[in-house]
Structure 1
């Protein structure tokens, strides 16, 4: 009798796990019908500098004024030192930055999400941003507080991209047939992608608040599942040489790897000159990056910038 009960119990458990796997795979393969069949993964590249130089100075100025990037930073009280560093460094270069925290935090101004679940925080932040700013910003950039971003490089990358198209880009990762943009490198959504996502947030069957499975999937994977229902697919962002511009590691780690693998070409093999993000930084490294990117100048070396992105009116942009 005990043996039969044990076998029955094992069968129930195995059956539950099997059902959960089927549910998960079903969700992950959403969009593998007609829409997915015709979709090919794109390695989106930054504009070619030579082509930009062919545009007149007046046209370049108009292009540079046409960008409005809204930056979303997801934070928790334990991130307070990173929070302070991000606030004092690169986020000044966004057209607008707002911090979305897991709980009310008096030390820094933020929008409380009243949850520590990262997926719930992400979807609430996107919903808030769309409802409040959909008529003001055409690109929405979401990162964790361990990320340092060069916003001007992001704007340059997006220069020839149409925000009325469903762009969802950053550093893509493949998980089987499933592909998503890693939040560790930062996630960029166009206003069209935001519209499509917002239309799904209240449809549990397509974009659930909880995974409904035995184990949870990360917030960036869950976002990709929702976006696939809307026909929006992950795109990897690269420079014209094919190097990633959204990075999930710090400069220090990239240089260390380059020294080990290409000791005679460390600088050339390390990172893209047009890098947009680096991740995994400490507060101290944030300030070092800020100095290197925005302060340090090599006099005698000629820089020919093709574009100048003007800071928002009234900002303390460096």
Structure 2
């Protein structure tokens, strides 16, 4: 093989599938199969760092040569604060990757843990770690954002530290919504008790009015459960009690935008049986089940975030221009 400054390695079979779904989602390619190579993890990380050093961009796309005027306009008009739930053990393995990839495109990024970390800008709330405390941590994170950052954005996105989010596509979904309405979006699950709720891992985004209602009454145990496991379910019950509606996030063709698992799982159908039982819109699998304007994937670890960053914002099929489409439901 030819060497021109950096070593190229053939990607694995699983990554080929990831390449295919990312190309369909980001650039509307045909289904014609392409064999690709990727920069090795070490060199790829250096490439990301070099790209960051050339740009102070925190709103539009991170590419150097593309016309990202639409993305930049949306970043100014649809202001999204991202708050990420992490813990001390995963700072090095997760937080550092999200900060140098998709986190840079949030209008404001707030990372919340039980222990502060000055190097990574992590703030602490008074909560214990562990699954038994996910409700306290989820509600506590939203209380922190309401108290300290309510005026910094119009929409407020909560994710885990291993969630990858395509911010341009999230802003597109929100661009036709009214943040003064009590609404939120995410991967839509059926109600376990009274109200539908959104998967925490896929990320969910609440309007300013939804956060306002939560900030004013969300600490009332008669309205919102304050402790226990399944923080996403507890938050959904809280939103329902506050009159906040979980809206459908699929595109106009019924294709999914928020995802509980990595791209490979959704493309290959490697999904747990419980997901089929709980999914509100009837979970599907394969490339054709994913929206071209996909928003998020969960369980994206370490260099996989760099891989998605490269495929979405740097890899290009020569001679194909991306055409904007109207995929929102009206």
Task: Report if TM-score (shorter chain) is over 0.5.
Answer: yes
Q: Which residue of 2 aligns with 1:201?
A: 218
**Match of residue 77, structure 1, among 82, 88, 93:** 88
**How far 1:204 sits from its partner (Å)?**
2.1
Task: Tell me how far 1:106 sits from its aligned partner.
Answer: 4.9
Write the distance in 2 (CA, Å) between the matches of 1:235 and 1:272: 17
Count of residue pairs brought into register by the alignment: 238
Say which SS state the counterpart of residue 82 (structure 2) adopts.
strand
Task: Choose the corresponding residue for 1:145, options 161, 165, 171.
Answer: 161
The corresponding residue for 1:11 is none
1:51 corresponds to which residue? none
Q: Do structure 1's residue 227 and structure 2's residue 225 form an aligned pair?
A: no
What is the TM-score with the length of structure 1 in the denominator?
A: 0.69
Secondary structure, aligned partner of 1:249 = coil
How far off is 1:174 after superposition?
1.1
Distance 1:297 1:133, change over 3 A: same
Specify the alignment match of 1:15 in structure 2: none
Structure 2 Cα separation of the partners of residues 106 and 64 of structure 1? 27
Q: 1:300 to 1:160 in 2, by over 3 A?
A: same
1:108-257 superposed matches below 5 A: 108-115=120-127, 116=129, 117-176=133-192, 178-210=195-227, 216-257=228-269
Report the CA distance shift for 1:105/1:136 in structure 2 as closer, same or farther (over 3 A).
Answer: closer
Q: 2:293 aligns with which of 274, 283, 290?
A: 274
**1:66 paired residue among 77, 83, 104:** 77
1:99/1:110 contact within 8 Å kept: yes
* Distance change >3 Å, CA 218–CA 291, structure 1 → 2: same
Q: Runs in 1 of length 4+ with deviation above 4 angstroms?
A: 58-64
Any idea what SS the aligned residue of 1:71 has? strand
Separation of aligned partners in 1, 2:72 and 2:118: 40
CA contact (8 A) 2:125 2:140 kept: yes
Deviations 1:198-247 (A, max 9, x none): 1112322112422xxxxx34101111121122111222311121111001
TM-score between the two structures when normalised by the length of structure 2 = 0.67
Change in Cα spacing, 1:256 to 1:231, as seen in structure 2 (3 Å) is: same
CA distance in 2, matches of 1:137, 1:145: 20
Match of 2:42 in 1: none
- Aligned partners of 1:94 and 1:64: how far apart in 2? 8
CA distance in 2, matches of 1:60, 1:222: 34
For the residue of structure 1 that corresponds to 2:216, the secondary structure is helix
CA distance in 2, matches of 1:154, 1:183: 16
Gaps of 5+ in 2: 1-68, 271-284
Aligned mates of 1:60, 1:201 — CA distance in 2? 34
What does residue 29 of structure 2 align with? none
* Residues 12-51 of structure 1 mapped to structure 2, 5 A cutoff: none
Query: Do 2:103 and 2:109's aligned partners in 1 also have CA atoms closer than 8 Å?
Result: yes
In 1, Cα distance between the equivalents of 2:73 and 2:205? 22
Q: Is the 8 A contact 1:181 1:235 kept in 2?
A: no
Larger-Rg structure: 1
CA distance in 2, matches of 1:131, 1:145: 22
Q: CA deviation at 1:60?
A: 9.8
